[in-house]
Structure 1
Amino acid sequence: MADNYIAINWNAIEDQIDKATWEKLTEQFWLDTRIPLSNDLDDWRSLTPDEQWVVGHVFGGLTLLDTLQSQDGMASLRQNIRTQQEEAVLNNIQFMESVHAKSYSSIFSTLNTPTEIDEIFDWTNANEHLQYKANRINGIYHEGTPLQKKIASVFLETFLFYSGFFTPLYYLGNNKLTNVAEIIKLIIRDESVHGTYIGYKFQLGFNELSVAEQDDLRNWMYDLLYELYANEEAYTNDVYEKTTWTDEVLTFLRYNANKALMNLGQEPLFPDTAADVNPIVMNGISTSTANHDFFSQVGNGYRIGQVEAMGNDDYNFD
């Protein structure tokens, strides 16, 4: 006879971080349809063709990575959960990754022509370096150990997305494309929680390994980061060759690679700090979301409750 099916009981919490993360994510819930993207059309028309190309193609790359997270990433992580509540949190994350991927299409449909949209997706689905990182992460999702899968997820959420996030944050810091950037800030807010939570779950498993096993996995982790960063340099050159931003994007990437390692409880690899990042971009990422009436869409921002992104200090890893 089969074992009884067990109902999830949110009144018997094994790990309080599951409950705290669920509450954080549900408080942060948002949809792209509530943001008046058409208000950015004047800013969009003021950009040069090269600038418009960069905006469209970084969003194409982000669409691919969010598709990967929603279709393969969370399904992979759900295979090795510790609690039923953890699975519920991963279900929430998976849904929001789909919201993120869909949001980029809302941006495309507002700013780009159908022909331009087709070209963006053709480029996205064929770019060598973009496809390399997607397939490298996806391969780990399908063939890696449970802890390797968590490393891959945190690297994607906290590191690899940021070559694309640089552009809208740069324009936000210059007071352009503010509604487009509002979506990106909401996505970053979500990814902050996702990366911290999955990093926390990684640390639980990592701390159960022997010293030798920890050393082996740590070596694998840093080798993977070096590999992904080398590819990301090439991808950044592809996307930003029409600009003078390449070096600044790479600094931003190294800064976020260190944040990914910290989410995993490891030491930073690169010397770059927040002080090294373009201050215009840091200003964009730190600008609080503007007031926005959820129902009438009055204003140029979006806020559901007084919710801030979750930082490393929000979780007690001891």
Structure 2
Amino acid sequence: MGFALRRRGPSKFDRAADGSMTLIEHFRELRTRLFRASLAVVAGITLGFWLADPVRALLQQPYCNLPTSIGPDGQCTFVQLGPADVFLLNLKIALWVGLIAAAPVWLYQLWAFIAPGLHRHERRYAYIFTAIAAPLFAAGAVLAYFVVQKGLEFLMNFAGDDINTTLEVTRYISFVTNLILLFGVAFEFPLVVLMLNFVGITSAKRLLSWWRVAVFIFFAFAALVTPTPDPFGMSALALCLSALYFAAVGVAYLNDRRRGRGKEVYAGLDDDEASPLDDDPQPVGAVEQVDAVDPIVPAQPVPQPLPIERRYDDMT
């Protein structure tokens, strides 16, 4: 019994990569990708709304761990100014949880749409940078979670015993989530440094020569963006960014060594330094005599063609 093998044509990825896909087909693919990503986000928001209360309790722990947050009844309480504040806050938390839970799906849909337009080495770099970006963002979020508790402890110590401090829940959760987002994005800075090195814009030696400026910028940036005035949060963010910068410079050095950068003829010279010249003169020998060439015969003029009635005889 014989089986007929059906010959498969090129896939959508191949057709998009070689440019054979039409514009209408690109729009249809974009619509399909957006629809799948939207379904994943909606499913993630549904899951996030179910997990809103545990997530909100987790975000409240930095404040509830402080001794000054415990009321006379032994409970850690917050204030709700409006009747729908907690419900809207749960919707906001559900949106964040849904985006994070559905990130593998909508990131894959985004990548599947733009990957055909990239070269093979560009796709390889994208895989590497994506694999590094997620742990860096998570590390920044964890650091921000501990910085919140230290910052609140610093601020709450200024209140005396005659002042009863109770935080408003929506403003507190916004404060914590903004700090987590800020620290997570700041931890992506080493990827920018690596990208500049991988594309050949700057070398590891030049990046290392900028370390003083980089450390100053890190401390100034941490002082501006850290919402609490305590020195702990600013120092923690600046020191972590400095450590990540030097780690990125180390990776850039390995990349330069692998590619053989710095071994060029003028690699050891500064921009304002002249290259060494060889001052040893060499004697010039006698030049062989060149015989004279024959003169070129001028071209003969082209004879004018005969009239058409004189080109043919009676037979032709």
When normalised by structure 2's length, the TM-score is: 0.30
When normalised by structure 1's length, the TM-score is: 0.30
Return the index of the structure with the highest Cα Rg: 2
Whose relative contact order is higher, 1 or 2, with alpha carbons under 8 Å and at least 6 apart? Answer: 1
